Amino acid sequence: MQLEIENFTDQFQYFPGTRYMGSKNKIISNLWKHIGKLEFDSFFDAFAGSNVVSYFMKCQGKKVITNDFMSFSYITSKAIIENSTEQIDSKDIKFLLKKNKNNGFIQSTFQDIFYSAEENEFLDRVRRNISLLDNEYKIALALASLVRACVKKRSRGIFTFVGERYNDGRADMRKTIEEHFIESIQIFNKAVFYNDQQNKSKNKRSENITVKADLVYLDPPYFTPKSDNDYVRRYHFVEGLVKNWEGIEIQEHSIVKKFESYKSPFAKKETAYSAFDDLFKKHKDSIIAISYSSNSLPTKKELTEMLCKYKSKVEVYEINHTYSMGNQSHKIGNKNNRVKEYLFIGK
């Protein structure tokens, strides 16, 4: 059964948003003002992150292919971009909450780090039950819901510090993790729809993947000498949870029990330039759209010149955007923190 809806664009209100470093949620309509004028049927989101841009494009009826090297981003995409049929019903929920025998990995590894003993017991139990589901899209929906519950139940939604240093008593912190999980399932179920296309989710390094699409959207981590763009450091717990910590070596000496960050050429100055050049070359036959910010390297001028090597027409739009996350969160409201967001379009 495919979930038909009357108007794709109305469906965007059901995007399950959480805080995600670098998310374009707040500027999506500004991006669409420019991207919407271009002619394209297929859209490749090479650094999908929260998947908000891809979900928006799915709601515009485009054929969407997403990619991100973080597994928890990929699983979210699989749940609401690739999946157009499956939902989690009340029988599944009952099954997911069932008592079971599990290895107690989270309870023993993350004791007194992020969650209470009771919450860790819940996570071990549900994670085990998810692995017993026999449908890949139900698994993706359940995992994405569990990730959302973990992020909601965590102060600031990140995993870089022990305990609840920033617990401000907001409603999200007062709900139980189980309540968050069930609510998240309902939210994710509503986000599932069919847009007349076969959409696809991928989980590779963007430098190692070849996807053909009319429009390729590049929103890599922004390199700045000051800020932190390490997604694993921030989100290692939910990334490990999705992978069930399989193939992952926890750094036992780290107080938050994180693991080694994935290498990304975009995170370092020495490699960011050639990484961009390689991507532009690989996608030279598509329209290329890039989101980048004014405090990052390469600079606006450099990036424009690099894109001009492969594209005959390059336009740059400025979109004002104040970051509310990252190392500079204490400066919210400060004018110096007004980073300009650029949208480059190479045709």
Binding interface with ligand SAM (CB under 6 A): 20, 22-24, 47, 49-50, 52-53, 68-70, 73, 205-207, 219-221, 231, 264, 266
H/E element, 320? strand 314-322
Token representation of residue 55: 């979900």
Taking the complex as a whole, the smallest distance from the CB of residue 145 to ligand SAM amounts, in Å, to 18
Q: What are phi and psi of 203, to 5 degrees?
A: -135, 65
CB of 68 to ligand SAM, least distance (A): 5
Q: How far is the CB of 197 from ligand SAM (least distance, A)?
A: 20
To ligand SAM, the closest distance from the beta carbon of 260 in angstroms equals 14
Comparing CB distances to ligand SAM, the nearer of 19 and 175 is: 19
CB of 133 to ligand SAM, least distance (A): 25
CB nearer ligand SAM, residue 72 or residue 122 = 72
Q: Is the peptide bond before 221 cis (omega within 30 degrees of 0)?
A: no
Distance separating alpha carbons of residues 216 and 283, to the nearest angstrom: 7
- For residue 282, the minimal CB distance to ligand SAM (Å) is 13
Residue among 177 and 272 whose Cβ is closer to ligand SAM: 272
Rounded Cα distance, 103 and 52, in Å: 35
Using alpha carbons only, give the angle 151, 145, 131 rounded to the nearest 5 degrees.
115
Name which of 138 and 202 has its Cβ closer to ligand SAM: 202
Q: Which of 344, 340, 198, 201 minimizes the C-alpha distance to 279?
A: 344
| Helix H or strand E encompassing 315 | strand 314-322
**Which CB sits closer to ligand SAM, 54 or 195?**
54
Nearer to ligand SAM, 111 or 324 (CB): 324
Where do we find the tokens 């750094």?
A: 251
- Report the DSSP pairing between strands 215-218 and 200-202: unpaired
